[in-house]
Structure 1
Amino acid sequence: MTLTIVAAGRVTQAFICFLLCLSWGSSCPPSCQCTERAGAKAVLCSAQHLEEIPKDIPQDAVFLKLDANSITRIPSNAFRHLSHLEELDLSRNAIEKIDGAAFKGVAAGLRTLDLSSNRIRSIPKEALLMLNAKLRLANNPWHCECTLQEVLWEARLDPDSVQDITCHTAPREEYVGKPLLQVLDAGVNFCSVRQRTTDVAMFITMFGWFAMVIAYVVCYVRHNREDTRKHVEYLKSLPNTQNPAETISTVL
């Protein structure tokens, strides 16, 4: 009888745990709507005045829309638990910063990532190059430099929006306001500019070290000469008991 009660209690606990896990896995954030699209869960959080990414997004979400909010940053591992995610829309927010591991955990299955119409000036290369998703990066105040150029060359960009990746700022004023693709097609290579800058900095550093070594050698020689002169003068001031030249040669 006691064993039966214990067994029944364990079954009840397991069933309650199952219900809680099922409820947690399929829950929906209060500011979002969760629907089914072709048998896949879609989480719709558009235009909800969100300032950060909700932390209770269902794990089985396949489509996630967070567009038209006030999100300013995508922190590391923000979507790590969403292993089924295929489409992610973060357009029309106020995103300024994206961490290098922002999309860690969704790289394998993510097919579309929309970051257009934000406030992104630069983005860590590792945050995007690990993705196989088609990227939309248009209408951001981009600073055109080597990292953005490498993203353009190596990432999968949406061909319909690539012309709208415009240089808001750039190393040279003549590039400002122009599409990045147009600037690169004209033969500009931002990475070579950075390499030349690095080479110049290295040359200046090496020259500085060389100048320090020369200065040290000169000071060392001068110091030794002064010590030798003082020593010779001291010897000359001694009583002249023998030939000064012999005394000096003997001491040396």
Structure 2
Amino acid sequence: MMGPVLAACLLIILSTAWISQANGATCKKDGGVCTCNDNTKSVDCSSKGLTAIPSHIPTDTDRLELGYNKLSSLPRTAFHHLSKLTYLSLSTNQLQTLPAGVFDQLKNLETLWLRENQLQSLPEGVFDQLVELDELYLTSNKLKSLPPRVFDSLTKLTYLSLSNNQLKSVPEGAFNFLEKLTRLQLEENPWDCTCNDILYMAKWLKKKQDEGLGGVDTAGCEEGGKAVLDVTEEEAAEDCVYPNTTTAIPTTIITTLASSNDDDIPELPVPQENFQKFLGYQEPDHLPTQPQCLMSISGYLGLMMSLVLTSAAILYVIHFLKKA
């Protein structure tokens, strides 16, 4: 009767190994590229030259480091299976945008690093589900504006950094719900103190200075070096008109094209990437890197071997059960 018992034990062991292989090789100990600490539930994938987020990051991960890589985009569901994260770093990458809903499952997240990327804008509601967020770092991006109500759900936020961007003003009411804020960084932005859009921010900063909020004096006007919180309504009397430099066509080109014959119109070179976009071609969200391909192959081979051994164990159990 010992045969079936031993076979059953073998089956359990092999099944556990199979499940482990099915999770893929993310950590170095399994042939992956990241360093994992089972005790602290942390995964460190920083400084690996990654162009895509490694697959099969353990679902119970608490801390995830993805900084100092080459990530230029994120899939919308990149973190949807990591609901236990409290710390996420995406700093020092090449992110140009964030997909809507990318952080929606991170309801336990307390710290989010997005500094030193190339973000020019943020999708509306991108932080709405981060109800436990305590620190948010958006330093050193290319943000030209903020969407309305972008920080409304961050009622527990204590630290916010928007320094070193291209912000001229913030939307009316942008900071109204940040009652727990203790530190705010706003320096190195071209704050436009001649435009009346700045008045909300000026009055809010003045009020918060009286309440002891740190960093309210870090916002300086682009011209004159005056602190934004000292701007008066008389100084910011102009209506705000910011030209859309991304789509404007120089009038000289329009005049030239309108007055020329078809034969005289020069052939303008079209960048390949623009031509592909015109034809409706889009690159996938990300392509696997060489280490990830090797990870996938090794994981697949390991999975196949586990399946073969598991099948043999099952047949072994059935054989002895029939004899019994």
TM-score calculated relative to the size of structure 1: 0.58
Tell me how far 1:139 sits from its aligned partner: 1.6
Q: Which structure carries more helix by proportion?
A: 1
Farther-moved stretch of structure 1 (44-53 vs 75-84): 75-84
The 5 A counterparts of 1:121-140 are 121-131=120-130, 132-133=132-133, 134-140=135-141
Alpha-carbon spacing, 1:51–1:27, altered in 2? closer, same or farther (3 Å): closer
CA distance in 1, matches of 2:6, 2:136: 53
CA distance in 2, matches of 1:183, 1:72: 35
Q: Which 5+ residue runs of structure 1 have no aligned equivalent?
A: 194-252
> Is the CA contact 2:169–2:201 (under 8 Å) kept in the aligned structure 1?
no
SS at match of 1:98: coil
Tell me how far 1:59 sits from its aligned partner: 2.3
Q: For 1:118, give the aligned amino acid.
A: N
> Is the CA contact 1:43–1:61 (under 8 Å) kept in the aligned structure 2?
yes
> Is the CA contact 1:77–1:105 (under 8 Å) kept in the aligned structure 2?
no
Residues paired across the two proteins, number: 179
SS at match of 2:19: helix
Residue 51 (structure 1) aligns with: 51
Q: For 1:126, give the aligned amino acid.
A: G
Tell me how far 1:141 sits from its aligned partner: 0.7
Alpha-carbon spacing, 1:125–1:184, altered in 2? closer, same or farther (3 Å): same
Residue 12 (structure 2) aligns with: 14
SS at match of 1:54: coil
Q: Which 5+ residue runs of structure 2 have no aligned equivalent?
A: 172-188, 205-238, 240-324
Tell me how far 1:49 sits from its aligned partner: 0.9
Alpha-carbon spacing, 1:80–1:170, altered in 2? closer, same or farther (3 Å): closer
Tell me how far 1:143 sits from its aligned partner: 2.3
CA distance in 2, matches of 1:50, 1:78: 14
Residue 118 (structure 2) aligns with: 119
Q: For 1:186, give the aligned amino acid.
A: A
> Is the CA contact 2:88–2:112 (under 8 Å) kept in the aligned structure 1?
yes
Answer with 1 or 2: which has the greater Rg: 1
Tell me how far 1:101 sits from its aligned partner: 2.1
Residue 35 (structure 2) aligns with: 33
Percent of aligned positions that are identical: 25
Aligned Cα root-mean-square deviation (Å): 3.7
Highest RCO, 1 vs 2 (Cα 8 Å, sep ≥ 6): 2
CA distance in 1, matches of 2:78, 2:192: 30
The 5 A counterparts of 1:16-165 are 16-22=14-20, 28=27, 30-35=32-37, 39-107=39-107, 109-131=108-130, 132-133=132-133, 134-145=135-146, 147=147, 149-155=148-154, 157=157, 159=159, 161-164=161-164
CA distance in 1, matches of 2:192, 2:71: 26
CA distance in 2, matches of 1:123, 1:76: 14
Tell me how far 1:81 sits from its aligned partner: 2.0
SS at match of 1:150: coil
Tell me how far 1:102 sits from its aligned partner: 1.1
CA distance in 2, matches of 1:22, 1:169: 50
Residue 167 (structure 1) aligns with: 167
Farther-moved stretch of structure 1 (130-139 vs 18-27): 18-27
Residue 248 (structure 1) aligns with: none
Q: Which structure carries more strand by proportion?
A: 1
